[in-house]
Amino acid sequence: MSNPTDVEGAQEAFDAAALLERYRVERDKRLHSPGEEVYLAPSGNLARYLDDPYADEESTRAPVTRTVQVALVGAGFGNLQAAVHLHNAGVHDFVLIDRAGDVGGVWYWNRYPGVACDIDSYAYLPLLEEMGYMPTQKYASAPEVFQYARSMATKFDLYSRALLRTEVSEIRWDDAAAEWVIATEQGDVIRARFVNLATGPLQRLRLPNVPGVETFAGHSFHTARWDYAYTGGDAFGGLDKLSDQVVGIIGTGATAVQAIPHLGAAAKHLYVFQRTPAPVPPRNHKKTDPEWWASLQPGWQQARIENFNRAVLGEQIDEDLVADGWTELKRIGIAAVKGEDAEARRQVADFAYMQSLRDRVEAIVEDKATAEALKPWYNSDCKRPCFHDDYLQTFNRPNVTLVDTKGRGVERITPTGAVVDGHEYRLDCLIYATGFDFNARNMAKRNGFEIYGRDGRSLTAKWSDGGIATYQGYFSRDFPNLVMQSGAQGVMTANITHTLGEGARYLTHLVRYAQDRHVRTIEPTEESEQTWVDLVRSRNARGPTDAACTPGYYNNDGKPEEGTGISAFFPGNSQRFFARLHEFCRTGTLAGFDVAE
Ligand code: NDP
């Protein structure tokens, strides 16, 4: 691709006003009426979309009543890391709770064909040195990631401390005992001094809010509940039962981009219903070189994780260790800090980058109209890049049709298909690749349970009244000893397991701190919480959360009011944030907290 830092040359090549106008026009096509809900949460007669197709048997265990030091809610990489750090710090009295039938979080649920992690596996898979594991490839397949999560649980004896297939119904603070009381649908009552909530933003799946979703009479499922009994094959493809099926897939996000090549290879005919084209740079996959692996020195993984983060942040680094499509984006960041005209330079670098993606579409997709419809028109930080080497090529297959809805989305579902521009596409099978409810403000909806703090006041009530309010993104006043790894006003990194690892270490520090000093409660002061909230709100400036971006989950579908979508994140430099957190733990003063013994 063209070099985005060559801004002098590039400045001449772009008509900035015309391009920004084109971005605006494309974005406006996608805007819906104010107040209109774009998505449906599956409930009522749509609740079947939530059923777990991977669970092998009904849970029949007796209800558990226990008191533990720490309850780890969510068994994905957030709490797997927390469990390992607690274990290493000598804290063994914890329980791991998850509604899924195994550990792994998103990697338990997302088993669709082609599913893989597009973050460098040597940075993504946590604690590789402790685990003594060499990932097989630069980008691990989901089965490898899932198996890795399971091996963490085995190695650190976490299954014996796990309550799986266990649905939390509420978490309530007992002030007299200074404990959280966790009730579950299975009748368990778990009391815990600390709760670490690592439930993730990609768990509550969503369907489009269009008429007729409940009427479809063919076969239908969401990508996070893939039905292999119907399609045949597995996460590596081979969907042999689709050879006589007309299949429709709604959505062209990171999930769909990975699944579509396999559907295209297998279905009698595939209709891809697109609302906004994804940005699709190349992935450039490769196998792990055992010689390189053997040459790595102790401490290499944390160094790589930090190097990757600094690269993505656009910081100057001596060597780009990961050197992939993510770190290539850093050049846009670097352009933004050079010289006086930083924003103009960033914009030009971004124009060049996005043009390179449109050129790639042009070079690969043979049909002109299809190629035009697949070209992305927005700034690079408006949508997550979907690195793939086979996605665009799939549209050259005679059995694959792109149905471009020009920003409006599918109009309606009928018993026999999906309607766009008044035309019904008849389908045997309809797959929703329509993503997840990202909204952090209504954490209860996202989690499926409410948290009640002091005086029985719910987190939803607190955050509805005054907006999301946290200290450091981890704590909220009146919810003592509750550590949230949810991301609300917290720190975002491209490599989520990095953020979760830092959070896990922080939790461990606080638990040890409380244990060693016989501390009953830790919670932020009113002042520190307000200062944090002011900081987050004041710095939500231009960027992916901006209403100027094409709508998507980053900006709450074009309505980025405070506290929703990704706009709820702390927008500062994550590397500096983590450094401050380390310093905070090192000095051990717990500034900004009320600490009660
Ligand atoms: P997304 O929310 O990113 O995508 C949902 C898709 O559905 C969008 O393309 C959206 O269009 C489309 N859509 C919604 N409603 C309609 C409609 N009515 N008609 C047509 N299209 C519609 O969800 P994903 O599951 O794709 O990805 C979620 C996140 O999961 C990713 O961003 C990433 O963080 C993670 N992920 C990570 C992977 C990895 O490699 N590490 C792989 C896969 C997912 P529009 O774009 O217009 O909103």
pLDDT tens track for 103-152: 999 999 999 999 999 999 999 999 999 999 999 999 999 999 999 999 99
Identify which has the larger pLDDT, 571 or 209: 209
> Which residue's alpha carbon is at the smallest distance from atom 33 of ligand 1?
254
Task: State which fold the 65-203+438-596 domain adopts.
Answer: FAD/NAD(P)-binding domain (3.50.50)
pLDDT for residue 496 is more than 80: yes
pLDDT tens sequence across 275-305: 999 999 998 889 999 999 999 999 999 999 9
pLDDT of residue 16: 87
Q: 462 in ligand 1 pocket by Cβ < 6 Å?
A: no
Nearest atom of ligand 1 to the alpha carbon of 117: 40
Residue ID of nearest Cα to ligand 1 atom 16: 409
For ligand 1, is residue 275 a contact (CB within 6 Å)? yes
Ligand 1 pocket, 4 CB below 6 A?
Answer: no
Nearest in space to 303 (alpha carbons), one of 283, 286, 317, 324 = 317
Q: Using one digit for the tens of pLDDT, what is the confidence trace for 412-427?
A: 999 999 999 999 999 9
Q: Chain centroid to CA 146: how far?
A: 16
**What are the residue ranges spanned by the domains of the chain?**
31-60+205-278+404-435, 65-203+438-596
CA dihedral 535, 537, 543, 544 (to 10 degrees): 120
Q: Is the pLDDT of residue 204 over 70?
A: yes
pTM for the full model? Answer: 0.93
Percentage of residues of the chain with pLDDT beyond 70: 92
d(CA 30, CA 407): 4
Q: Does the C-beta of 435 come closer than 6 Å to ligand 1?
A: yes
438 lines ligand 1 (CB under 6 A): no
pLDDT band at 488 (very low <50, low <70, confident <90, very high): confident
Identify the band that residue 458 occupies on the pLDDT scale cut at 50, 70 and 90: very high
Tell me what pLDDT residue 561 has: 63
Q: Is 255 in the pocket of ligand 1 (CB under 6 A)?
A: yes
> Residue 314 has what pLDDT?
83
* Residue 216: pLDDT band with limits 50, 70, 90: very high
Q: Is 379 in the pocket of ligand 1 (CB under 6 A)?
A: no
Atom of ligand 1 nearest to the CA of 224: 25
Digit-coded pLDDT (tens) for 315-350: 888 999 999 999 988 777 666 666 677 778 888 889
Q: What is the mean pLDDT of residues 204-220?
A: 94
Residue 204 Cβ inside 6 Å of ligand 1? The answer reads no
Residue 193 Cα to ligand 1 midpoint, Å, equals 37
What residue's CA is closest to ligand 1, atom 23?
Answer: 435
pLDDT-derived band at 563 (thresholds 50, 70, 90) equals very low
Q: Do the first three CATH levels of 31-60+205-278+404-435 and 65-203+438-596 match, i.e. the same topology?
A: yes
Report the helix count and the strand count for the chain, using DSSP H and E.
Answer: 21, 20
In this prediction, residue 36 carries a pLDDT of 57
Residue 389 alpha carbon to ligand 1 centre in Å: 18
Q: Is the dihedral of CA 79, 80, 81, 85 positive or negative?
A: positive
Q: Which atom of ligand 1 is nearest to the CA of 276?
A: 47
Report in angstroms the alpha-carbon separations of 382 from 378, 564, 567.
Answer: 7, 15, 12
Q: Is the CB of 495 under 6 A from ligand 1?
A: no
Q: Distance (Å, rounded) from C-alpha 521 to C-alpha 508?
A: 15
pLDDT tens-digit series, residues 467-486:
889 999 999 999 999 999 97
Write a three-state SS string for 300-352. HHHHHHHHHHHHHCCCCCCCCCCCCHHHHCHHHHHHHHCCCCHHHHHHHHHHH
Least confident of 1-10, 193-202, 239-248, 483-492: 1-10
Q: Which residues pair with 156 in a beta bridge?
A: none
Among 141, 202, 420, 566, the mutation site with the greatest number of ligand 1 atoms within 8 A of its Cβ is 202
Predicted confidence at residue 265, as pLDDT, reads 98
Q: How far is the CA of 218 from the centre of ligand 1 (A)?
A: 23
**Residue of the nearest CA to atom 4 in ligand 1?**
253
pLDDT, position 560: 65
| Residue-level pLDDT at 1 | 41
Which residues, in sequence order, are CB contacts of 353 under 8 Å at separation 6+? Answer: 1, 4, 329, 331, 332, 380
Q: What's the longest Cα–Cα distance across the chain?
A: 71
Indicate whether 428 pLDDT > 50.
Answer: yes
Q: Which two tokens stand for residue 488?
A: 């609300």
**What one-character DSSP code corresponds to residue 394?**
H
Are the C-beta atoms of residues 145 and 117 closer than 8 Å to each other?
yes
Inter-residue contact 433 to 206 (CB < 8 Å): no
CB 482 within 8 A of CB 453: yes
Q: Give the residue-averaged pLDDT of 158-173.
A: 96
pLDDT of 2 higher than 60: no
Rounded to whole angstroms, the Cα distance separating 377 from 22 reads: 7
**pLDDT at 4 (0 to 100):** 45
Which residue has the CA at smallest separation from atom 37 of ligand 1? 254
Does ligand 1 come within 6 angstroms of the Cβ of 259?
A: no
Residue 142: predicted pLDDT: 97
Give bridge partners of residue 221 from the DSSP assignment: 431
Q: Alpha-carbon Rg of the chain, whole angstroms?
A: 24
- Mean pLDDT, residues 10-23: 83
Q: Which pLDDT score is estimated for 335? A: 65
Mean pLDDT of 209-218: 94
Q: Is the minimum distance from the CB of 384 to ligand 1 under 6 angstroms?
A: yes
In angstroms, what is the span from residue 331 Cα to ligand 1's centroid?
25
Residue positions counted in the chain: 597
Q: Say which residue, 561 or 304, is predicted with more confidence.
A: 304
Give the closest residue (by CA) to ligand 1 atom 14: 434
490 band by pLDDT with thresholds 50, 70 and 90 = confident
- Classify domain 31-60+205-278+404-435 by CATH number: 3.50.50.60
- Whether the CB of 149 sits within 6 Å of ligand 1: no
User: Residue 464 has what pLDDT?
Assistant: 85
**What single-letter DSSP state applies at residue 46?**
G
Q: Which long-range contacts (CB under 8 A, 24 or more apart) does 577-585 make?
A: 577/491, 578/491, 578/502, 581/472, 581/502, 581/506, 585/505, 585/506, 585/509
Question: Could you identify the residue written with the tokens 């690749």?
Answer: 433
